[in-house]
């Protein structure tokens, strides 16, 4: 009798090649097969009359064959016409078939078939449905939902079901370690009960709840999986907190000088975040805090107040940005505040010439530079700090854990770290993917900021926008025109920045039009941005290089061409380049007709709200966690049963149980984590 720890190769008929294919799904043993759960179910529990059929739904029907014919088309097709007692018809269309199949479908035979209902020229159709002749074969009708499993190449549903059934047979007599049972205290089904139910729901189970993933057996496993993810990150957090960092004595001399030099007051939210950061800096435990804020909420000044504590305590601060434009913007904005206080700032980037780089490096190595701003160049081997004690990472989701670790390792003791993002992170993602970080949120905008008016217009109305640009420029304000590509591409139907530049130059005679994109060299980009900031350019034609960090208060009109090609978060970031002054700003989202349903939804959301946190939640719903998080947190996107969008309502429970699990032995904790998570996160503790 097979046991749950047996390798896949122990299953009869499952060879080495297939075993290796299943390994790609994280399946190595029979127990792994048990945790390869259905991602959906087919409902063959009832026969649906044609009168109740909905296009796009999968249904089971029982109908009589009226006639069979081969379609006289270039690609051979077998057409099977079915009818019910009310003379309603359904056409089965087979693009691949053999003579045996054709001969077995005989007029007058009763056929059960299951598939997706489509609409064709002759009415309702199914393409390549699963079917059975009731006179010759066992019916398709089942007493419970049919599980549908995620597959890999070379593995069929039927084969996978067969192997999972072998594992379920072993489960009946085996003892499976239920690491979670002790803390849930009989409030939910046992692990064994939940697994059996989900692979083979019993007759009488609530099929609707199972289909909606809110059955108690599913909730039991979803909560356990979410708790395992949170537990792994909480372990990381505890390990990091066990390290020793430098204790900063919080002093206010530099902070008072900075406050006095500002021509604006801090918001209550900014003040609260500064206090939270200072509390961490005054501890010997290394800070790792995520600073979230919407576009224009004032994260930079909060970071400046934080790094003043490092300077006051004799430590260097490294500020790392993902792009050169953003790093240069930080050099300018941080420099403005810090130069008034006599603080020396160095700058490092990959594109510097040798002389410039060596000059800046010597300042860093000697300790003359109290603040070092740069790109990925900061964590290169050749960069050595005199006394690094504080690290600030901007747009943290664009850096990997290993990159953060490379920079942190340049400090003598684990440095305090502040990671910032201008892309608000939905609460469900913060709890699931960033449970190892403490979080501060700037949840209000500075006073006087006006809501940006957002309009969606078809590309065909470009001439109207030309008139709007002339009017805005006549009032002394500036415009961004953003294109999604540098060069023309017929396939993508997106206007290129180059063509748009020519078009605008021809139609805006007398106005100063300039173009910026990622292929320009560093000095040209810098010169163009300086001229735009100084008001020497009226209209800046740009690619999405201006997505983050660019701050020109006099720019009050943003046009985004082919906006349907960009995601919600990116569009919101682009829109945030305007609305930084006291004037009412407008963002025009131009689109190519016809719009897809998802593109329509994205543009509508942006028209309805400027709240980045609302937009982030919608973005998560539309794109899912995988695309938003990228490759940094693949485990969150590839969960076995949980889905943080669908199951967000269970996150609080999962958090509660993950806290309880911290009280269990380390062996029990790790067993639970390894059951659900394939990736090793231990290196996070050092990052």
Q: Structural domains in the chain? A: 8-42+147-212 (no CATH), 50-141 (2.40.50.140), 253-442 (3.40.50.300), 453-609 (3.40.50.300)
The pLDDT of residue 489 is 62
Q: Which residue has the higher pLDDT, 672 or 39?
A: 672
pLDDT band of residue 631 (cuts 50, 70, 90) is: very low
**Helix or strand (DSSP H, E) at 442:** strand 438-442
**Taking 90 as the threshold, does the pLDDT of residue 280 lie above it?**
yes
Residue 54 corresponds to which tokens in the numbers above? 């909905």
pLDDT band of residue 93 (cuts 50, 70, 90) is: very high
The pLDDT of residue 308 is 97
In contact, 295 and 612? CB cutoff 8 Å: yes
In contact, 494 and 485? CB cutoff 8 Å: yes
**Taking 90 as the threshold, does the pLDDT of residue 96 lie above it?**
no
Query: Considering the entire predicted model, what is its pTM?
Result: 0.78
pLDDT band of residue 589 (cuts 50, 70, 90) is: very high
From the list 379, 425, 424, the residue with the least C-alpha distance to 633 is 425
- CB-based burial, 253-283: b 16+ in 10 Å, e otherwise: ebbeebeeeeeeebbebbebbbebbbebbee
Q: Going by C-beta distance under 8 Å and a sequence separation of 6 or more, which residues neighbour residue 222?
A: 213, 641, 642, 647, 650, 654
3-state DSSP helix/strand/coil % of the chain, to nearest 5? 40, 20, 40
The lowest-confidence range among 201-205, 375-379, 668-672 is 201-205
Sheet holding 110-116, edge to edge: 118-120, 123-127, 89-94, 77-83, 58-71, 110-116, 130-133
The pLDDT of residue 494 is 52
pLDDT digits (tens, 9 = 90+) for 327-381: 888 898 899 899 999 999 999 988 888 899 999 999 999 999 999 999 888 888 8
CB atoms within 10 A of CB 492: 13
Separation between Cα atoms, residue 589 and residue 452, nearest integer Å:
12
Q: Which residue has the higher pLDDT, 90 or 297?
A: 90
The most distant pair of C-alpha atoms in the chain lies apart, rounded to whole Å, by: 94
Separation between Cα atoms, residue 486 and residue 497, nearest integer Å:
5
From the list 397, 441, 403, the residue with the least C-alpha distance to 627 is 397
Show the CA angle centred on residue 346, arms to residues 345 and 349, nearest 5°.
140
Number of DSSP helices (H) and strands (E) in the chain, helices first: 24, 22
The pLDDT of residue 544 is 73
pLDDT band of residue 421 (cuts 50, 70, 90) is: confident
Separation between Cα atoms, residue 299 and residue 181, nearest integer Å:
44
Segment 517-529 shows an average pLDDT of: 80
Q: Which residue has the higher pLDDT, 497 or 31?
A: 31
pLDDT digits (tens, 9 = 90+) for 149-178: 988 888 899 899 999 999 999 998 888 888
pLDDT band of residue 580 (cuts 50, 70, 90) is: confident
pLDDT digits (tens, 9 = 90+) for 476-510: 999 999 988 766 665 554 567 888 889 999 999 99
pLDDT band of residue 408 (cuts 50, 70, 90) is: confident
- 46 three-state secondary structure: coil
Residue 150 corresponds to which tokens in the numbers above? 């995620």
Q: Which residue has the higher pLDDT, 346 or 681?
A: 346
């Amino acid at each position: 009798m097979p046991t749950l720890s047996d390798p896949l190769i122990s299953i009869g008929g499952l060879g080495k090649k297939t075993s290796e294919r299943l390994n790609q799904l994280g399946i190595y043993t029979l127990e792994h097969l048990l945790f390869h759960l259905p991602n959906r179910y087919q409902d063959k529990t009832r026969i649906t009359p044609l009168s109740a059929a909905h296009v796009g739904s999968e249904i089971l029907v029982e109908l009589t064959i009226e006639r069979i014919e081969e379609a006289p088309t270039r690609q051979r097709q077998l057409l099977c016409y079915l009818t019910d007692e009310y003379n309603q018809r359904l056409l089965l269309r087979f693009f691949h078939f053999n003579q045996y199949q054709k001969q077995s479908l005989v007029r007058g035979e009763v056929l059960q078939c299951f598939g997706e209902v489509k609409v064709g020229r002759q009415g309702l159709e199914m393409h390549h449905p699963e079917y059975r002749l009731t006179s010759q074969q066992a019916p398709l009708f089942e007493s419970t939902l049919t599980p549908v499993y995620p597959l890999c190449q070379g593995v069929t549903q039927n084969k996978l079901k067969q192997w999972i059934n072998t594992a379920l047979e072993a489960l009946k007599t085996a003892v499976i370690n239920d690491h979670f049972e002790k803390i849930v205290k009989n409030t939910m089904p046992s692990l064994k009960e939940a697994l059996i139910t989900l692979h083979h729901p019993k007759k009488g189970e609530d099929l609707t709840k199972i289909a909606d993933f809110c059955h108690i057996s599913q909730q039991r496993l979803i909560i356990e999986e979410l708790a395992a993810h949170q537990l792994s990150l909480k372990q990381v957090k505890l390990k990091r907190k066990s390290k020793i960092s430098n204790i900063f004595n919080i002093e206010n001399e530099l902070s008072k000088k900075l406050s006095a030099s500002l021509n604006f007051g801090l918001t209550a939210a900014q003040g609260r975040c500064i206090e939270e950061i200072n509390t961490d800096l005054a501890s010997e435990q290394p800070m790792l805090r995520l600073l979230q804020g919407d576009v224009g909420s004032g994260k930079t000044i909060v970071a400046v107040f934080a790094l003043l504590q490092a300077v006051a305590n004799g430590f260097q601060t490294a500020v790392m940005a993902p792009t050169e434009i953003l790093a240069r913007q930080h050099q300018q904005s941080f420099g403005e505040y810090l130069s008034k206080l006599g603080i020396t700032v160095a700058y490092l980037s990959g594109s510097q010439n040798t002389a410039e780089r060596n000059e800046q490096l010597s300042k860093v190595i000697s300790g003359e530079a109290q603040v070092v701003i740069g790109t990925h160049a900061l964590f290169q081997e050749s960069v050595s700090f005199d006394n690094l004690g504080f690290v600030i990472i901007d747009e943290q989701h664009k850096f990997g854990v290993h990159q953060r670790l490379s920079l942190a390792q340049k400090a003598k003791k684990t440095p305090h770290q502040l990671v910032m993002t201008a892309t608000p992170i939905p609460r469900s993602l913060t709890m699931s993917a960033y449970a190892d970080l403490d979080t501060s949120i700037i949840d209000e905008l500075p006073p006087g900021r006006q809501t940006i008016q957002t309009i969606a217009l078809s590309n065909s109305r470009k001439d109207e926008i030309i008139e709007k640009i002339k009017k805005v420029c006549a009032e002394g304000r500036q415009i961004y025109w953003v294109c999604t590509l540098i060069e023309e591409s017929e396939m993508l139907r997106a206007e290129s920045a180059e063509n748009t530049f020519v078009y605008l130059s021809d139609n805006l005679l007398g106005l100063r039009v300039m173009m910026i994109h990622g292929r320009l060299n560093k000095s040209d980009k810098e010169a163009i941005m300086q001229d735009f900031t100084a008001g020497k350019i009226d209209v800046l034609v740009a690619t999405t290089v201006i997505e983050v960090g660019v701050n020109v208060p006099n720019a009050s009109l943003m046009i985004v061409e082919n906006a349907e090609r960009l995601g919600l978060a990116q569009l919101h970031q682009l829109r945030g380049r305007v609305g930084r002054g006291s004037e009412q700003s407008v963002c025009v989202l131009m689109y190519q007709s016809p719009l897809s349903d998802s593109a329509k939804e994205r543009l509508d959301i942006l028209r309805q709200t400027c709240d980045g946190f609302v937009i982030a939640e919608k973005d998560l719903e539309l794109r899912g966690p995988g695309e938003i998080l990228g490759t940094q947190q693949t485990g969150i996107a590839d969960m076995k049963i949980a889905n943080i969008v669908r199951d967000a309502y269970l996150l609080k429970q999962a958090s509660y149980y993950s806290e309880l699990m911290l009280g269990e032995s380390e062996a029990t904790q790790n067993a639970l984590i390894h059951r659900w998570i394939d990736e090793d996160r231990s290196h996070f503790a050092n990052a």
